[in-house]
Structure 1
């Protein structure tokens, strides 16, 4: 009985990641991926139906981890928070922002694939879709603060989506431009100064 070659899948995924990063989804070739992985096209097609399924397999774990974080943060019930805790949710905390940059940098290549190389796949609108997920997670916190008269009331979900799009663009761009980690750290500090949610949303200052 032939022994299954369990090294094939990691080789295919590694080769595919490299090919997609270099050429983007549409220009990447399965032939080139097979050559890079030293496998036959038959071996590849036994595992993946085509190029899009392969692309999705490459980024699958990163997508799962991103959405897990969004769900974890959004699952808190804002009604259970004190006024101080609710206002603090909008702090531009340097350590929390640095956590985000480190989290994304640890998944650097897959995050870049989602941002710049996904045209033609189900993740073509990843940048917009990711902000939409975060808007839904954040809207309940803003609505609760507005209900308690803690901040301005004329910002609805649509405008919040626009503001979060601007915010996340400042996070996307250093990955798109292939910043080093040292550049990311400095950029993170700048972003913390640039976005003052307390001022923009006119949060009350509690004694």
Structure 2
């Protein structure tokens, strides 16, 4: 019985993913999902209280996974300051970017939902959440760099917000345009070089 219930849940999630990918959250139909899964809407409501909960079941794990990796990357950048290796921060940032791409492509459909099909859900501002976190942490990061005499200026909050927003938008274009992974890796490498040079110029490293 447990295996049968598990099979129903897996099939519902598979059909839900296809429906959300095709129509987006707002236009997706629980009735259509149930029909394609060969069951009833009641079977959905037993497992998920509403459509948003069903959508969340598909994207929450990867959203939290990426956020966890992002926070780890930020922590390592702060560690570089205390280790006297702040000048290697751009290499670390680029290395983490490639790891993020690996993670995204391991879970591509879920990220497609998260980035392109989440309008109307609490995840519609996911990228903005990443931007806000980066802006807050980068402010503290630059403050510490200035205290130890590594940089001459601290880019203002407004500038950091606009550039960070542009950066994340550019990176997630690989998802929006269904870019093959090999091409995506080359693309984000160019993005990294462009933004790294820009941040170096603004911060005026010593």
Give the TM-score range, shorter chain. 0.7 to 0.9
Q: Give the deviation of 1:172 after TM superposition.
A: 1.1
Residue pairs, 1:16-35, within 5 angstroms: 16-35=16-35
Residue equivalent to 1:131: 131
Describe the superposition over 1:116-174 as per-residue Cα deviations: whole angstroms up to 9, x where unpaired. 11111111212211211222333322221122232242413332222211111210112
Residue equivalent to 1:151: 151
Cα distance 1:201–1:156, how it changes in 2: closer, same or farther (>3 A)? same
Residue equivalent to 2:12: 12
The CA distance in 1 between the partners of 2:92 and 2:166, in whole Å, is 15
Structure 1: 5+ residue stretches without partners: none
Greater RCO, CA 8 A, separation 6+: 1
Cα distance 1:134–1:14, how it changes in 2: closer, same or farther (>3 A)? farther
The CA distance in 2 between the partners of 1:148 and 1:119, in whole Å, is 43
Q: Give the deviation of 1:189 after TM superposition.
A: 2.5
Describe the superposition over 1:35-80 as per-residue Cα deviations: whole angstroms up to 9, x where unpaired. 2222211111101111111111110110120121123233458377
Please tell me whether the aligned partners of residues 25 and 117 of structure 1 are also in contact (alpha carbons under 8 angstroms): yes
Cα distance 1:192–1:71, how it changes in 2: closer, same or farther (>3 A)? closer
Cα distance 1:40–1:79, how it changes in 2: closer, same or farther (>3 A)? closer
Structure 2: 5+ residue stretches without partners: none
The CA distance in 2 between the partners of 1:182 and 1:80, in whole Å, is 30
Q: Give the deviation of 1:81 after TM superposition.
A: 2.7
Pick the structure with more helix per residue.
Answer: 2
Structure 1 stretch displaced more, 94-103 or 138-147: 94-103
Q: TM-score scaled to structure 1, two decimals?
A: 0.87
The CA distance in 1 between the partners of 2:184 and 2:65, in whole Å, is 21
Residue equivalent to 1:199: 201
Cα distance 1:79–1:24, how it changes in 2: closer, same or farther (>3 A)? closer
Aligned-residue CA RMSD (Å): 2.3
Residue equivalent to 1:178: 178
Structure 1 stretch displaced more, 107-116 or 137-146: 137-146
Please tell me whether the aligned partners of residues 20 and 28 of structure 1 are also in contact (alpha carbons under 8 angstroms): yes
